[in-house]
Amino acid sequence: MKLYWGLAAFAGAFAMVGASTVTIAAEFSIRGSHAESTESPLHKGWQVFEAYVESASGGRVEVSISPASQLGSIKDALEQAKIGAIEMAQGDEQNLDGFYKPMMILATPYLFANDEEGQRFLDSDFFMEVREKMAKESGLRFLAASSYGFRCFTNNVKPIKSAADMAGIRMRVPPSPMSLAMVEAMGGSPTPVPWEELYGAMQSGVVDGQENPVGVVLDYSFYQVQKYLTLDNHQLGLNSLMINEQFFQSLPPELRAVVVTGARMAAATEYGERNYQARVSAVEKLRGNGMEVYAPTLEEIETFRAATKEPMQAYLKKELDPGYVDAVYKEVADIRAALVSSVSE
């Protein structure tokens, strides 16, 4: 009897040791890259993606995330995802058109009046077709996207309350033809300045102002060298989760569904925190640091939109199929009308 229990105890102990040291290998591995810190709302979203996908797949999919540009810039990581060196990468409205030109439309100034219009456009049947074409032609699939805030103007000259107030202001813009055309259309003087030189350019007066999301204005202490902030919300910033199309199609249907759901959860996680920051916490902190913050009325916003609409469409129609550009503007107009109708019935 003692021998029996001794052997049983030994066998049980061996089984426990074996269970603790042997792990079941995942069937699929996803390596993802993004450019932001581990404290950012974006990283928190990717963490949600990791936790959901690994859990919902029952361990069949393993996810590892490389934050803070450890694998290179946003563009570099997208290139790696395109060729399959990694499976996923962060995209944004400034880089996707380099992989599929029709995505240029997402960077159009004053296209969306608010985040809801942008999200409905991203979820529309129209844009779903664009996403499918991108996957086939570029090898990168657009899984989901989150707004990280609208770009807004800051300057040191005066409050910008309408398009006419832009006249003569030297406004730093990124090296984007649409950004240049936007400022020119309002009578401003667009001045490309490298990002790493921007703070010094504002401090020394090389430029009068710049345009970025409110969170960026706070994070990089632009309030120290800028007096006025205008919440004109001219360009919707979008962080997207992109995946290598060949890898995505190699997953069984049930795991493809898990990945898509996880990506949407990640986007929703980032958006919640970013939205609060852009509309409440960052604005309050900027005011507390001495900035004058102005929110234009609907009528004033319309002056910005009216001044830039034709130049933007003309530029886009030179770069893209004119029929596609018209279809995009119609889709957004239909979304806007549906939103108004939904609250007036």
What pLDDT is recorded for position 82?
98
- What dihedral do alpha carbons 42, 43, 46, 51 form, nearest 10°? -140
Is the confidence at residue 7, as pLDDT, over 80? no
Rounded CA-CA distance 274/43 in Å is 12
- Is residue 156 within 8 Å of residue 208, measured between CB atoms? yes
pLDDT tens digits for range 216-227: 999 999 999 999
Is the confidence at residue 22, as pLDDT, over 60? no
Is the confidence at residue 67, as pLDDT, over 80? yes
pLDDT band at 144 (very low <50, low <70, confident <90, very high): very high
What pLDDT is recorded for position 94?
86
pLDDT tens digits for range 70-112: 999 999 999 999 999 999 999 999 899 999 999 999 999 999 9
What pLDDT is recorded for position 248?
98
pTM: 0.89
pLDDT band at 345 (very low <50, low <70, confident <90, very high): low
Beta strands 88-92; 292-294: pairing state: unpaired
What pLDDT is recorded for position 176?
83
pLDDT tens digits for range 281-327: 999 999 999 999 999 999 999 999 999 999 999 999 999 999 999 99
DSSP code per residue over 233-253: EEEEEEEEEEEEHHHHHHS-H
- Is residue 64 within 8 Å of residue 30, measured between CB atoms? yes
pLDDT band at 185 (very low <50, low <70, confident <90, very high): very high
Rounded CA-CA distance 322/115 in Å is 25
- Is residue 135 within 8 Å of residue 260, measured between CB atoms? no
Rounded CA-CA distance 159/327 in Å is 35
Which two tokens mark 260? 């898509």
Enumerate residues 6+ apart whose C-beta is below 8 A from 281.
none
Q: What is the mean pLDDT of residues 118-131?
A: 97
Rounded CA-CA distance 218/176 in Å is 23
- Is residue 164 within 8 Å of residue 296, measured between CB atoms? no
Integer-rounded Cα radius of gyration of the chain: 24
Q: Which domains does the chain have, with CATH numbers?
A: 26-336 (3.40.190.170)
Enumerate residues 6+ apart whose C-beta is below 8 A from 191.
170, 171, 172, 173, 206, 207
Instruction: Please name the helix (run of DSSP H) or strand (run of DSSP E) that holds residue 213, with its range, or none.
Output: strand 209-213
